[in-house]
Homo-oligomer: A and B are copies of this chain.
Amino acid sequence: MPMSIISLTTDFGVDSPYVAQMKGAILSVQRSVQLVDITHSIPPQDILAGAIVLHDTCPVFPAGTIHIAVVDPGVGTARGIVAVRSAATWFIAPDNGLLSGIARRNRPDELRRVENRQLWRSEVSSTFHGRDIMAPVAAHLAAGGDPAQIGPKIDRLIELPWPEAKFSPKECRGEVIAVDSFGNLITSIFGRELATHFAASAAQNEGLHIEIGDTLIRGLSGTYGQAQAGQIVALIGSSDRLEIAEVGGSAARTLRTGRGTPVAVRP
């Protein structure tokens, strides 16, 4: 049997022993598993930021992967925990909107409420369900366990309003949804949307004007290294999102901008 893959995405902070506790709980059920950290740097309790990371990252993983996500300000309260199958991949998370992006990308094929205590750790704390509930449930799936044992089917997930680009014939309005470690400004506008609405191939469309704050960028670049150092460019990044970047520098620092900043594109 090929190794099962479990990924972890949390707001616990880089290098937190809480992450290791989740891994210990997984390995207590199933030792031969490929554990992958997606990130533990989601801003504390920022559910939407977590949902965006899952949306952009999880599709790169192979079918059968089990993703655990823990951004869980309501831990221990009445909020549910869900197991969701979407695009042949499982997600275990609190039902608080954290899977909003996943559910938008591929309508889930199976939704279950995590309820069967038999699969959980014998003692369940009221403050760390990632370790005591989600980790062993993910390990159950990784060990080839029956999803039906997790809990009953449910009809719907809680979903957050999703930052999406708005198009009119004259312009597209979106926003910066994330800043990566290079200072690139990642937006809510997808390359495929620009292509559909404005032109045959947005990536080649030199006529697009991109506006962020006082900065106007003319045309899309193909990649970071095609312009002079220090130049602010716009391009379609590796998750198909419109990005604003500074060649050899940090656009976030130079433009003094970040998440939530409006971005407009005009054909």
**A180 cross-chain contacts in B, Cβ below 8 A:** 13, 16, 18
Partner of A35 from B36, B58, B132, B237 at Cβ < 8 Å: B36
| A204 CB to nearest chain B CB (Å) | 12
| Residues of the B chain whose Cβ atoms lie less than 8 Å from the Cβ of A28 | 60-62
Contact A13 B181 (CB under 8 A): yes
Asked if A226 and B131 make an inter-chain contact with CB atoms under 8 angstroms apart, the answer reads: no
CB distance from A7 to the nearest CB of B (A): 7
Residues of chain B lying within 8 A (CB to CB) of residue A40: 15
What are the residues of chain B within 8 A of A76 when measuring CB–CB? 222-226
Q: Is the CB of A57 within 8 A of B17?
A: yes
Partner of A181, one of B16, B27, B53: B16
- Does any Cβ of B come within 8 Å of A128's Cβ? yes
A237 to B181, CA, bound (A): 31
Copies assembled: 3
Which residues in window 28-50 of A have CB below 8 A to B? Answer: 28, 31-41, 44-45
A73 an interface residue at 8 Å Cβ cutoff? yes
CB of A248 closer than 8 Å to a CB of B? yes
Contact of A235 (CB < 8 Å), options: B12, B15, B56, B127: B127
Query: Which residues on the B side are within 8 Å of A53 (C-beta)?
Result: 17
Q: What does the 1/0 interface line of A231-267 toward B look like (CB < 8 Å)?
A: 0000101100001000010100000000000000000
Q: How far is the CA of A224 from the CA of B73 in the complex (A)?
A: 7
* A and B contact pairs by CB, cutoff 8 A, 24 listed: A2-B32, A5-B27, A5-B31, A12-B181, A14-B41, A15-B37, A15-B39, A17-B38, A18-B238, A20-B37, A20-B39, A21-B60, A24-B36, A24-B60, A28-B60, A34-B35, A44-B181, A44-B182, A45-B248, A75-B224, A126-B235, A127-B223, A128-B237, A128-B238
